[in-house]
Amino acid sequence: MKIKIKRIFLKTQQYWRIIFIVLLVFIFFWFSFFLSEREKNPNCKDLFDAFKLVLVLFLGEYTESTPVTSIGKIIVMLTFILGVAIVVTAIGKIASVFVNIKKKEVKVPEGTKNHIVICNWNDKGDRIVKELHAPEAEPETLICIVTDKEDKEIREEELRTASPEEYQNVYFIKGDPTLHNVLKNAAKAHLAKSIIILADERYSDPDAKTALIALAISKIEREQVKKPHIVAEVINHRKIDHLRDAGVDEWICATDYGLGIIAQSALYQKLSEVYHQLLTYSKDTNEIYLVEGRKFPKVLVGKSFKEAAIILHNNQKPENPVILLGVKRNEKIILNPREGDFDVFKEGDALIVMAYRPPDLSYIS
């Protein structure tokens, strides 16, 4: 917030400095014209006559009152040129204001729900959009990006040109993601399926801003039966408790994960390639998927983990084989359960599987 206030102050100070310089130049031309023309030009008898003539020229209009002296003619020419330049610049600035207003009014279409909202924008945002809109993921899902960065920092047109397919159905909304009205009215965040909060690297404490956004989301989602799932990028893992209290459901600390992969790769060569494949959506790599709801095979209810694994193995589809890795029960994740960790599958459980693309196992009976 301090950075933003400082930017506004510096920009305002710059504008006032320019206005002051223009006024000084105008006054200089005004008095110079009067002093050079007052004795020889009948149309310039006093300061007011000189003011009217110079003002008309300054606004980009030429006058029939021709100066008599050589100095007066030079002043008229310079005043006219400077005035035209200032008027053109002013028109350009006014036009840019209207363009910016139009951009700020961008909203997701009415009736939008079950979409994905990304709050803030950094270098990781492009990769996230491409992963979410990969053919093996959810290419049709609407993505709404809420950021208060300038256009040149976002590079929206450049991103759309480089990856037109991935950036279809992607909306960039200029606004502060900590504000309730931006999240609710423009982004429809309370109706989203998931909300990703990226760290804003411009702040000295990015996690603090992440907590503010999570609190704002938690406030606007109180009236919803099903609240959006909030996933946050964390810079300092010691702030996780604060983010959890603010309403964050999952947090990803890239530093911690990266260090863990480095350590394991040092013990077991090429293990990093395993993580790379599992975390990259493509037709030639396996990813981790949750199988739940209507895609969950009802025949597995009452079966043990081993029995379920055998059933899935015996009903494999050659083009998309599925390997059972674990189970999600409520908010608990159990991977490769040992004896005693898990009894049998129940209604509402979800399978954690590895496959080439999202599997629908409802065909198994």
What's the pLDDT score for residue 12? Answer: 63
pLDDT tens, residue by residue, 18-67:
777 777 777 877 777 777 777 777 777 677 777 777 777 666 565 555 67
pLDDT tens, residue by residue, 246-301:
999 999 887 778 888 888 889 898 889 998 888 888 888 999 999 999 999 999 99
pLDDT tens, residue by residue, 86-132:
767 766 666 665 555 555 556 788 889 999 999 999 888 999 999 99
For residues 239 and 199, what is the distance between their CA atoms, to the nearest angstrom?
13
Cβ neighbours of residue 93 under 8 Å, at least 6 residues apart? none
Cα 296 to Cα 241, 293, 300, 310, 343, distances in angstroms: 33, 6, 8, 15, 18
CA contacts within 13 A on the Cβ side of 184:
12
For residues 159 and 163, what is the distance between their CA atoms, to the nearest angstrom?
6
Cα 31 to Cα 22, 34, 81, distances in angstroms: 14, 5, 18
- Specify whether the CB–CB gap between 92 and 118 falls below 8 A: no
| β-pairing verdict for 323-329 and 332-335 | antiparallel
Nearest to 129 by CA among 55, 342, 121: 121
- Specify whether the CB–CB gap between 137 and 131 falls below 8 A: yes
The answer to whether residue 228 scores a pLDDT higher than 50 is: yes
What's the pLDDT score for residue 2? Answer: 46
Tokens of 288: 């981790």
What's the pLDDT score for residue 38? Answer: 73
Tokens of 108: 């997701």
Residue 201 CB neighbour total at 10 angstroms: 10
Tokens of 84: 């035209």
- The amino acid occupying position 158 is E
- In terms of Cβ atoms closer than 10 Å to its own Cβ (0-12, 13-18, 19+), residue 29 is buried
Helix locations, 147-299, DSSP H: 151-154, 156-162, 180-181, 206-220, 240-246, 254-267, 271-278
Q: Which CATH class is domain 286-365?
A: alpha beta
Classified by CATH at the fold level, domain 2-104 comes out as Helix Hairpins (1.10.287)
Return the percent helix, strand and coil in the chain, to nearest 5. 50, 15, 40
Residue extents of the structural domains in the chain: 2-104, 116-252, 286-365
pLDDT tens, residue by residue, 211-224:
999 999 988 877 67
286-365 and 2-104 share a CATH fold: no
The DSSP output letter for 227 is P
Tokens of 159: 């991103």
Q: At what angle do helices 2-37 and 47-58 cross, to 10 degrees?
A: 130
Nearest to 319 by CA among 271, 278, 355: 355
What's the pLDDT score for residue 64? Answer: 53
The mean predicted confidence, pLDDT, of the chain is 84
Total residues belonging to the chain: 365
Q: Which CATH class is domain 116-252?
A: alpha beta
